[in-house]
Amino acid sequence: MRKVLVGALAALLLAGCGGSGGGAADGDLTSDKIELRFTWWGSDARHQRTQQVIDLWQKDHPNITVKGEFKEWNGYWDSLATTVAANDAPDVIQMDELYLASYAERGALLDLGTAGKNLAITDFDAKALATGAIDGKQYGLPTGVTTYSLIANTDLLAKYNVTLPDDATWTWDDLKSVGDRISKASGGEVTGLQSWGFDIGGVNIWARQNGASLYAPDGKVAIPADILAKYWQYLLDISKQGIAPPASVSVERAGAGLDQSGTATNKSAIGTWWNSQLTSLAKASGQNLKLLRIPGEGTATGAYYKPSMFWSISSRSKHPAEAAAFVNFLANSQEAADIMLTDRGIPANTKIRAALTGKLEGTDKAAAEFLDSVKVGEAPRVTPNGASDVEAILKRHTESVLFERETPQQAAEAFISELQAGIDAA
Amino acid sequence: MSAIGELQRLNTSTGGPPRKRDTKAALLFLLPWFAGILLITAGPVAASFVLGFTDYNLIQPPEFNGLENIQRMLTDERLHHSLGVTFTYVFVSVPLQLAAALGLAMLLDRGMRGLPFYRSAFYLPSLLGSSVAIAVLWRQIFGAEGLINQMLGFFGIEGTGWISDPDTALSTLIVLNVWTFGAPMVIFLAGLRQIPVMYYEAAQIDGAGRWTQFRRITVPLLSPIIFFNLVLQIIHAFQSFTQAFVVSGGTGGPSDSTMFYTLYLYQRGFHSFDMGYASALAWLLLLIIAAFTAVNFWAAKRWVFYDD
Amino acid sequence: MTDLRERTHELPAPVPEKAVKLPGAGRSIAKHTGLILLTLVMLYPVIWMVVSSLRPNEEIFRSPGVLPDSFRFENYSEGWTALASPFGHYLINSAIVVLGCILGNLVSCSMAAYAFARLEFTGKKLWFAIMLGTIMLPIHVIIVPQYVMFSQFGWINTFLPLIVPKLLATDAFFVFLMVQFIRGLPRELDEAARIDGAGHPRIFLQVILPLMLPALATTTIFTFIWTWNDFFSQLIYLTDPEMYTVPVALRSYVDATVSTSWGSMFAMSVVSLLPIFLAFLVGQRFLIKGIATTGIK
C-alpha cells in the first residue's frame, strides 16, 4: 500500500514537471477563443498601466483573453516557482536578470528566436538583446535598459557649499573626499554618501574597472578575492570615517526599499542607484536630484546596460504563437509604449526609445539623456544558473563587513566559494 | 485547606463504570479528520518525505540522490547557525511570552473595571499580522532613528538600529514576540473561565492567601490549558517564520542573525531552487519538534491535572 | 426525559464575579495606571498606522512620529480603487474564505476533539500523535506537492484549497485546544446524561458543546484573524486577481525598487484591520461565557 502511494506521488510530481507546449511559436494565430495568462511584479501604478495595455491589445484580438496576474516581488517568485513546478506556469512572464538563467537553463522558458514572424526583435539594441541570450538562444526580451549611476542631491550640495569635480574623470578617492566634506559641513545632520554593497551592480562595475568580471563567460565565478576585498574595504572605510552612515543605519535603509533610503529622505547627499530610479527618488525626496557618472570611468569602463526586466514565455505554454504575438505588442507597439512610458525602464527598443524621448519630461527626460551619454562596455554575462541568490549572499557579507564580523578579505573568499558552490550544484 | 483537598479529591476520582470501547462513535466523530488525513495531508507529507531523498530544483523532475541531503546537513554551517538562532528564540521567548500572557490573564480575569477594553487593547498587536505596513512600523519603532532611540536620546543614551544590528536583532524579535502575547492570553482567559468559583470561595473560607490560591487552585485546574499553550507555543516558535521574514525583508539578516530554521529552509527551497534539501531539512525539524513535544507530554504526567 | 441544560442549573447557584477580593482604592489606581501605560504601548502601532494612512505619500518617511500635520483623506478613496477591482472585492473574497474556514474548524475540530477527549478506541494515542505531527512540518515544503495535487483536482483559483482542509479538521491546533478544554469539563456531566439514556451525539451536542463555548469562541476568533492575515497559501493558490484576498491585495501596492503608494497601502491596511478588530470585539464577549452562564460555578 505504502509503496503504491509513494509511486503514485512520484508519478504525480513527474507529471507536474513533464509536459510540453502545444503548437509552434511561429505558427498562425488561432481564431478560437483562448486565454493567455500574463504575470508581473510591481506596485499599483504598474498594475494600472499594464492593465490598460492589455485592454488595448484585446481590442484587436477579441478572441484572446489576457489575464493579468500581478504580485509583489517576493511573492512573485514563490508563486512562479510553484506554478512552474506544477506545470501550471503563466504563458507570458516578466523575468528578472537574476533568475533568467535559472529558469531558462532548466528548460522552463521558450527560445523567443523560434517565434519568427510573430515576434520582431530587429529594433532592439544588440547589446541589450545580448543580456537576454544564453548560448545563442533568446530567452528574454529586455523591456528596458538602465545603467549604474550616482544620484546627488544638488540642494544639499548647495546648502553645504560643496562643488563636485567633473564626473567624467573623477575617481573613487574624489568621491570619498566630496562625501567627507559634506558630512563634516553638515555637522552630522546628513552623510555625504549612502552606503551600497547590497546590489550586484556595484560589484560588477568594480570588477570591470579593475579588469576583471564577476563571472567568466563559462559561468564560473571569476572575480579575484583581492579585488572584491578592496571593494568592501572602501565601503568599510566610508562607514567608519563618517562619510556614509554607521553600519546599522546603512543596513536598515538598504532593507527598507527606495522610499526609505537616505537619498529619498534627504539624509545622504550622494547614493548609487540605477539611473531609471531617478524619477521615483525625486518624487520621494522632493528636492533636486542629479544623475552622475560613477567614479573611475575615466580610466577604465565598468558601466554597462542592465536590462530592467525581460519578457519571457513559458516553454510549456499551450499557446506559444499567441503569447509571442502579445509580447511583440508589448515590446514593439508605440501605443503600448505611450502608456507604459518608462515604468519598466527606458525602452531597449531603439525605435520606441527615440520616439519616446521627445515625450518625456523632467526627471524621466534626464534619465533617458543620461543613459545615452554614458559610455558602456559589453554586457556582463547573465547571472548563471544556480546564482539567483547572489544578492542575498552579497548583502549578508556586506553586513558582516560593516559590522566588522568579517574582514573584507574573509568576506571576499567566503562570497566567492558560496556563490561557486551554488552554481556547481545547479 | 481541607475544603480544597475535598474538592480536588472529588474531582480526581470519577468512580464511574469501567470504560468500554466506543469504536463506532469514534469512527463517526473522526470521519472528517480521517478524510482530511487521507485526502489532504497524507499525499503532500509523503511527497515531501520522498523529496527529502532527491535533488529537486522545482523546474526539472526530482532525481533520487540517496542520503546526500543528510550528509550535507552535517557540514552545512549556516544550518547549524540557524539551529542556534532558533533554539535561542524558543528557549527565551516562549517562557517570557507565556508568563506575560498568564500574568495578564490573571490580572484581567475577574471583577475589573474596563476589562473588555484592556483585553482588546492587549490583543491588538496580535491582530496586526505581517503586512507590509507592519514591516514599516517596526522600522519606525526599532530603527536607528526610531521611537525607542528617540526616547533613549532623552536620557542621553545613544541606541543602535535594533533590528539592523546583528547583536540586537534577535533580542528585538524576541521582544516583538512577547508583545504579541494576546493569543495565549485569550486562551488562558477562556481556561480561567472554566475554573468553578466555588473552589476559590472554599479556599477563602480556609483562609488561603492569593499565592496559595494560585498555586493550589489556578495552576492545577488551568494546567491542561497551560500545557496546551506550552506545547503549541514551542511548536510555533520552532516554526517561527513570519516575524523574521517581515523584519529582515526575507533575508534572515543582518548577517544571518535572525536566520530562523524555517526561513533558511524556505530560502533553500524557493530562492536557491533546492527543494530536495529543503524537504530533508523540514523532516529534521519535524524530528526535533516531535522530540520536544514527546518530552513535554512525558513531563505532563507529573503536573497536568485532568478531570478524567 | 430531563432536559440536560436544565439539569446543569440544579448545581450550586452562581456567585457574583466580584466576590473574590476587593482591592483597596490606592492599589486599584496603581493597577489601572500600569494597565493604561501598557495599553498605550500596545496601541501605539495602531495609532501610528491610522495617522500614516492620513499623511501625504512623501511625508510618511520624512516626518516620523504620530502627530499629523495635515489630513489627506484621499488616501482612502485612491487606495480603494488603485487595484484591478475596488478594495471591497478583496474584502468580500477574504470574508468568504474566513467564513468557510470558521465553519469548517468549528464543526470538524470539535468533533475530532470530542473523540480524542471522551471516547476510547484502538490506537488513540497513535492517532493523536499523528494529528500533532501534521502541524510540525513547515508549509513551505508541503505547498508544492499540495499545489500539484490541488491542480489535478482543478481547484487552483478557487477557494477550495483554503477551505476544504479546514472542513476536514486539518487544523490540529484547534483540535488539540478543544481536547484540552473538554478534558477540563467534569465527567459527571457526561455520566449523568448517559444515565438519562443519551448517546454520544447527544452528549456532544447538548452537554459538551454548550459548555465549551469559550473554546469555540477562541477558535472562531483565531481562525478569523489567522485566515484574514494568512498570506502565503492565499498567494499561491489564488493567481487570478479576481480571486485575490486582502493580504495578497495589500502587498500589490508595494514595490521596493520604485516609489510606492504608501498612503493608499496604509489606508487599506487600516480598512482591513477593521473587520478583525470588530470580530474580536464581538467574539470576546463569548470568551467569558461558557460555564459562567450555563450555570456551573
Residue B40 lies in a domain: no
- Same-domain pairing of A125 and A226: no
Q: Where are the beta strands (DSSP E) in chain B?
A: 54-55, 63-64
- Partnered with residue B144 across adjacent β-strands are none
C27 at interface of B, judged by CB pairs closer than 8 A = no
DSSP string, C188-250: HHHHHHHHTT--HHHIIIIIIHHHTHHHHHHHHHHHHHHHHH--HHHHHH--SGGG--HHHHH
Q: d(Cα B270, Cα C76) in Å, to the nearest integer?
A: 35
- Same-domain pairing of A136 and A233: no
Which pLDDT band, with edges at 50, 70 and 90, does C66 fall under? low
Residue B50 lies in a domain: no
Say what the pLDDT of residue C177 is.
Answer: 92
- Same-domain pairing of A316 and A296: no
- Same-domain pairing of A10 and A94: yes
Best mutation site among A399, A400, A417, A420 for testing chain B: the one with the most B CBs within 10 Å? A399
Q: How many structural domains is chain B composed of?
A: 1
C225 at interface of A, judged by CB pairs closer than 8 A = no
**Which has the higher per-residue pLDDT, A44 or A386?**
A386
Strand A289-292 and strand A148-153: the pairing is antiparallel
Say what the pLDDT of residue B4 is.
Answer: 43
Question: Helix B147-154 and helix B132-142: axis angle, to 10°?
Answer: 10
What does the pLDDT average to over A141-170? 93
Contact check, Cβ <8 Å, C255/A43:
yes
> In the CATH scheme, what architecture does the domain C15-294 have?
Orthogonal Bundle (1.10)
Contact check, Cβ <8 Å, C240/A73:
no
Residue B54 lies in a domain: no
- Measured between beta carbons, the chain C residues lying within 8 angstroms of B134 are 45
Whether residue C98 is predicted with pLDDT greater than 50 in this model: the reply is yes
- Partnered with residue A134 across adjacent β-strands are A137
CATH number where B241 lies: 1.10.3720.10
Q: Which of B60, B164, B271 is facing A106, going by the closest CB pair?
A: B60
CATH number where A262 lies: 3.40.190.10
Contact check, Cβ <8 Å, C145/B51:
yes
Residue B18 lies in a domain: no
- Partnered with residue B54 across adjacent β-strands are B64
Query: What is the distance in angstroms between the Cα of C9 and the nearest Cα belonging to chain B?
Result: 14
Whether residue C2 is predicted with pLDDT greater than 60 in this model: the reply is no
**Which has the higher per-residue pLDDT, C291 or A242?**
A242
Say what the pLDDT of residue C297 is.
Answer: 34
A221 at interface of B, judged by CB pairs closer than 8 A = no
Residue A19 lies in a domain: yes
As a residue count, chain A comes to 426
Q: Which of B118, B196, B269 is facing C140, going by the closest CB pair?
A: B269
Whether residue A239 is predicted with pLDDT greater than 60 in this model: the reply is yes
Contact check, Cβ <8 Å, B265/C138:
yes
pLDDT in tens, C216-229: 988 998 999 999 99
State the CB neighbour count (10 A cutoff) for residue C67: 6
Whether residue C146 is predicted with pLDDT greater than 90 in this model: the reply is yes
Contact residues, A window 290-349, toward C, CB-based 8 Å cutoff: 343
Query: What is the distance in angstroms between the Cα of C44 and the nearest Cα belonging to chain B?
Result: 9
C82 at interface of A, judged by CB pairs closer than 8 A = yes
Q: Copy the grid coordinates of residue A387.
A: 546564482
Query: What is the distance in angstroms between the Cα of C250 and the nearest Cα belonging to chain A?
Result: 9
Residue B67: partners with Cβ closer than 8 Å, 6 or more residues away: B53
Residue A294 lies in a domain: yes
Q: Calculate what percentage of chain A has a pLDDT beyond 70.
A: 95
State the CB neighbour count (10 A cutoff) for residue C170: 26
Contact residues, A window 7-66, toward C, CB-based 8 Å cutoff: 9, 12-13, 15-16, 37, 39, 41-48, 51
Which pLDDT band, with edges at 50, 70 and 90, does C62 fall under? low
Average pLDDT, chain C: 83
Best mutation site among B82, B131, B147, B164 for testing chain A: the one with the most A CBs within 10 Å? B164
B183 at interface of C, judged by CB pairs closer than 8 A = yes
Query: What is the distance in angstroms between the Cα of C72 and the nearest Cα belonging to chain B?
Result: 18
B151 at interface of C, judged by CB pairs closer than 8 A = no
pLDDT in tens, C226-262: 999 999 999 999 999 999 999 999 888 877 777 778 8
- Same-domain pairing of A272 and A237: yes
Predicted complex ipTM: 0.90
- Same-domain pairing of A6 and A75: yes
Say what the pLDDT of residue C100 is.
Answer: 97
**Which has the higher per-residue pLDDT, B140 or A99?**
A99
Q: Calculate what percentage of chain C has a pLDDT beyond 70.
A: 86
Say what the pLDDT of residue A2 is.
Answer: 43
B131 at interface of A, judged by CB pairs closer than 8 A = no
- Same-domain pairing of A171 and A264: yes
Contact call for residues A278 and A292 (beta carbons, < 8 A): no
What does the pLDDT average to over B228-255? 89
Instruction: Compute CA C6 distance to the chain's CA centroid, rounded to the nearest angstrom.
Output: 31
Residue C16: partners with Cβ closer than 8 Å, 6 or more residues away: none
Residue A371 lies in a domain: no
Pick from A162, A170, A150: which is nearest to A263 by CA? A150
- Same-domain pairing of A91 and A26: yes
Residue A67 backbone phi and psi in degrees, to 5: -95, 115
Contact check, Cβ <8 Å, B32/C112:
yes
Among A200-209, A272-281, A335-344, B243-252, the minimum mean pLDDT is found in: B243-252
Q: d(Cα A282, Cα A291) in Å, to the nearest integer?
A: 11
Contact call for residues B40 and C170 (beta carbons, < 8 A): yes
Contact call for residues A413 and A225 (beta carbons, < 8 A): yes
Chains touching B (3+ CB pairs < 8 Å): A, C
Residue B41 lies in a domain: no
Whether residue B110 is predicted with pLDDT greater than 70 in this model: the reply is no
Contact check, Cβ <8 Å, A5/B166:
no
Q: Calculate what percentage of chain A has a pLDDT beyond 90.
A: 73
Average pLDDT, chain A: 90
Query: What is the distance in angstroms between the Cα of C247 and the nearest Cα belonging to chain A?
Result: 11
A155 at interface of C, judged by CB pairs closer than 8 A = no
Which pLDDT band, with edges at 50, 70 and 90, does C34 fall under? confident
Query: What is the distance in angstroms between the Cα of A350 and the nearest Cα belonging to chain B?
Result: 34
Whether residue B9 is predicted with pLDDT greater than 50 in this model: the reply is no
Say what the pLDDT of residue A335 is.
Answer: 92
- Measured between beta carbons, the chain B residues lying within 8 angstroms of C45 are 124-125, 128, 134, 137, 141
Contact check, Cβ <8 Å, A13/B161:
no
Pick from A277, A266, A146, A361: which is nearest to C260 by CA? A277
Residue A345: partners with Cβ closer than 8 Å, 6 or more residues away: A142, A143, A144, A145, A146, A276, A307, A308, A309
As a residue count, chain C comes to 297
- Same-domain pairing of A129 and A251: no
Whether residue B11 is predicted with pLDDT greater than 50 in this model: the reply is no
**Which has the higher per-residue pLDDT, C290 or B274?**
B274
**Amino acid residing at A16:** G
Q: Copy the grid coordinates of residue B135.
A: 514591516
Say what the pLDDT of residue A17 is.
Answer: 45
What does the pLDDT average to over A154-163? 94
Q: Which of A5, A102, A108 is facing B46, going by the closest CB pair?
A: A5
- Measured between beta carbons, the chain B residues lying within 8 angstroms of A251 are 161, 164-165, 253-254
Contact call for residues A62 and A30 (beta carbons, < 8 A): no
Measured between CA atoms, the residue of chain A closest to residue C57 is A284
Q: d(Cα B104, Cα C7) in Å, to the nearest integer?
A: 34
Contact call for residues C170 and C109 (beta carbons, < 8 A): no
Residue A17 backbone phi and psi in degrees, to 5: -90, -30
- Measured between beta carbons, the chain A residues lying within 8 angstroms of C235 are 71, 75, 78-79
Whether residue B75 is predicted with pLDDT greater than 60 in this model: the reply is yes
Whether residue A16 is predicted with pLDDT greater than 80 in this model: the reply is no
- Tell me the H-state helices in C86-171: 87-104, 110-118, 124-133, 139-153, 160-167
Whether residue A12 is predicted with pLDDT greater than 60 in this model: the reply is no
Residue B66 lies in a domain: no
- Measured between beta carbons, the chain A residues lying within 8 angstroms of B255 are 396, 399-400, 403, 405
Q: Which of B50, B143, B164 is facing A6, going by the closest CB pair?
A: B50
Q: Copy the grid coordinates of residue A240.
A: 567608519
CA Rg value for chain A: 23
What does the pLDDT average to over A105-133? 92
Query: What is the distance in angstroms between the Cα of C242 and the nearest Cα belonging to chain A?
Result: 9
Q: d(Cα C264, Cα C267) in Å, to the nearest integer?
A: 5
Among A334-338, A364-368, B32-36, C50-54, the minimum mean pLDDT is found in: C50-54
Measured between CA atoms, the residue of chain A closest to residue C83 is A44
Q: How many structural domains is chain A composed of?
A: 2
Q: Which of A13, A14, A249 is facing B144, going by the closest CB pair?
A: A249
Residue A133 lies in a domain: yes
Residue B108 lies in a domain: yes
A260 at interface of C, judged by CB pairs closer than 8 A = yes
Among A14-23, A82-91, A365-374, the minimum mean pLDDT is found in: A14-23
Whether residue A205 is predicted with pLDDT greater than 70 in this model: the reply is yes
Count A/B contacts: CB-CB distance under 8 Å.
117
C13 at interface of B, judged by CB pairs closer than 8 A = no
- Same-domain pairing of A236 and A212: yes
- Same-domain pairing of A20 and A62: yes
Contact check, Cβ <8 Å, B272/A260:
no
Residue A199 lies in a domain: yes
Average pLDDT, chain B: 86
Say what the pLDDT of residue B20 is.
Answer: 65
Range of the domain at A35: 2-143+309-362
Residue B61 lies in a domain: no
Contact residues, B window 179-208, toward A, CB-based 8 Å cutoff: none
Say what the pLDDT of residue C288 is.
Answer: 63
Say what the pLDDT of residue C9 is.
Answer: 33
Contact check, Cβ <8 Å, B139/A426:
no
Range of the domain at B292: 77-303
- Same-domain pairing of A276 and A402: yes
Q: Copy the grid coordinates of residue A425.
A: 550544484
